[in-house]
Structure 1
């Protein structure tokens, strides 16, 4: 039975591996493609009753529907798709001048706004692109049980010539080329490389794909901590780096501690807690965003005297794009030496070179 917006399909997922695998890592071989850094989207383009496109819905990886936030894509699906279908892909927002375009996560995240007037304005100012990378259904036929090699061939025939803002992701079976993509495409704002078993069916909500992301390390200064949602222990550490002006700036958070470590951290960090004249711990609050509107953003301030090493994948402006991972304490490092200069920045790469 063909999935619909009323009976949606969960997207297939990926598990992380440390490097681009060889072809013999999976029976039947692998297909490699860029890992897009956007909103995962399942597009349901329903039959209007005469073989043309009628209702269009855009589902997300979770339960949230994205349809209302991208009216320009809904219009494009209705006008450009040759027949009813269900597509798996990614919504991205490219920005920059021709020849130096890249993906813009901040512009994409701003598209999720409660006001319809704002949504319509942003659809004109920062229009989105949909990058298709799998075919779940075509017409009234489900493709879930077909191997990826067959789904990809059908997707190329169906959508290979569609104009912007609809795009078809690149693929290759050349392992060396995939390893080049991992390095080069980061400069256009991409997130890594995905490997898909050529003989594998579409497996909703299962981690049967392989993802290879960029991982780097940095030495950062502990600024404070958030109390765990249970009310006991450290939920996350807030960390910072010094800029050229000597100002220590918050660059993100470090989390995923075990219950045991969360409780130990409270005692370990106790000597660093800032206190007012009454002896009470000094607290602060980080900036809110549309993704943290209902969350507690308060934290306990710490004197910036301890350094730790973290793993991170990429930067978004002056902050870590995702939550960083704890590696180890660095008692040998002076906090003042933890600057932005240590960060590895990708070489610029034009997004058009990825899409071509």
Structure 2
């Protein structure tokens, strides 16, 4: 593997969560892509694709390595997102499948579900770092660098118009995007710092609490609650978790939920999953994944008799894309009323229209 450019690895710049787009001038807005964050180092003889946690992704995306090697000029470092486009927009599930130990599987998936790279920042060009430059100047240079880019290498749209960014926040979700980023136009690139803002969609749902996981390596506190929703056939499906509790609340939850643990597995809708392996069920709450790092994901069953309201940002297929935020118990609502049909349906939007969205061409200050 070629040597990375400069003092790699480099921690990517991070974002704070915001409830709304920031007011006032001085921001550049971009779509928030739902993929794998990556820094690409184009050295003299090759490419290094670095993940957010500073590991190499080259072996998992051989088709992307080839594209980046062909299209990026030597001596640049580009920040962006690896994505997989499916028939309904961005397909994060297909992207996850690419992280696999078998080279034969990676080779097949690189043809069946090829990845793309969406560039949104420039850390070096012509062999010289650009991190000290303001965001607007880095963007202007990135536009020049990728002016002739061809799919599957893309330049993310950008706008300085808050109203247009608000429109993107609403419409682009239908193509599988995750929200909008707001970047201070005059700020330098700050590795590892939360120096920009991400604005994500926020909705609520009432879910059945059907189990829990322990907190870390203890057995005196609840780590997360396992959530379920009933589908059209009346089957309770595992849709995600909520884990936004203080340590004191985790211990209180264990005592509060203790009565629901009694004989919970006897008629539990997920009882067949209790001893299943990871490949036996698509939505099995105890399945280990490539992302668990060996973490124990075993779970304890609860009789599915209580309902809680949670805040979520995005539905990926029939599961919450990220962990949800616990809001309150809904003891006034019967579990049978917690169905998928309560969730807001997002209007479909063509992914290619996102790539071709007209925004603002950024000009560097003289």
Matched, 1:243 2:231: yes
- After TM superposition, give the deviation of residue 73 of structure 1 in Å: 1.1
> For the residues of structure 2 that align with 1:271 and 1:127, how far apart are their CA atoms?
49
User: Once structures 1 and 2 are overlaid, which stretch shifts more, 74-83 or 337-346?
Assistant: 74-83
Aligned alpha-carbon RMSD (Å): 1.9
* Residue in structure 2 matched with residue 327 of structure 1 by the alignment: 327
Pick aligned residue for 1:57 from 48, 54, 63: 48
Q: For residue 282 of structure 2, what is the aligned residue in structure 1? A: none
User: 1:244 and 1:327, CA in 2 relative to 1: closer, same or farther beyond 3 A?
Assistant: same
Distance 1:61 1:277 in 2: 39
**What does the per-residue CA deviation read over 1:293-322, in whole Å, with 9 as the maximum and x for residues that have no partner?**
622121111111111000111111111111
Alpha-carbon deviations, 1:130-171, whole Å to 9, x = none? Answer: 000000001221001000111001000111221111100000
**2:259 pairs with 1:271:** yes
1:250-290: per-residue Cα shift (whole Å, max 9, x none)?
11111031110011001100111133899xxx993623322
Q: Report the 3-state secondary structure (helix = DSSP H, G, I; strand = E; otherwise coil) of the residue aligned with 1:119.
A: helix
Corresponding residue for residue 188 of structure 2 = 201
Separation in 2 of the partners of 1:288 and 1:318? 19
2:60 maps to: 69
Q: Does 1:186 align with 2:183?
A: no
- Which ranges in structure 2 are unaligned for 5 or more consecutive residues? 275-284, 357-366
1:201 Cα shift? 0.3
Taking the aligned partners of 2:19 and 2:120, their CA distance within structure 1 comes to: 22
Tell me what 1:147 maps to: 134
Q: 1:353 and 1:276 mapped to 2: Cα distance?
A: 49
Alignment partners' CA distance in 1, 2:348 and 2:265: 50
The two structures have a TM-score, normalised by structure 1, of 0.91
Aligned-residue offset at 1:247? 1.1
Cα distance in 2 for partners of 1:310, 1:172 equals 32
Alignment of 1:1-356 (within 5 A): 4=5, 7-24=8-25, 29-47=26-44, 54-96=45-87, 101-231=88-218, 232-275=220-263, 284=274, 286-292=286-292, 294-356=294-356
Please report the TM-score for the alignment, with normalisation by the length of structure 2: 0.89
In structure 2, C-alpha distance between the alignment counterparts of 1:45 and 1:272, rounded to whole Å: 56
Q: 8 Å contact 1:5–1:57 — kept in the other structure?
A: no
CA distance 1:30–1:241, shift in 2 (3 Å): same
Instruction: Give structure 1 regions of 4+ aligned residues with deviation exceeding 3 angstroms.
Output: 282-285
How far, CA to CA, are the matches of 1:341 and 1:277 in structure 2? 27
Q: Which has the larger displacement, 288-297 or 70-79?
A: 288-297
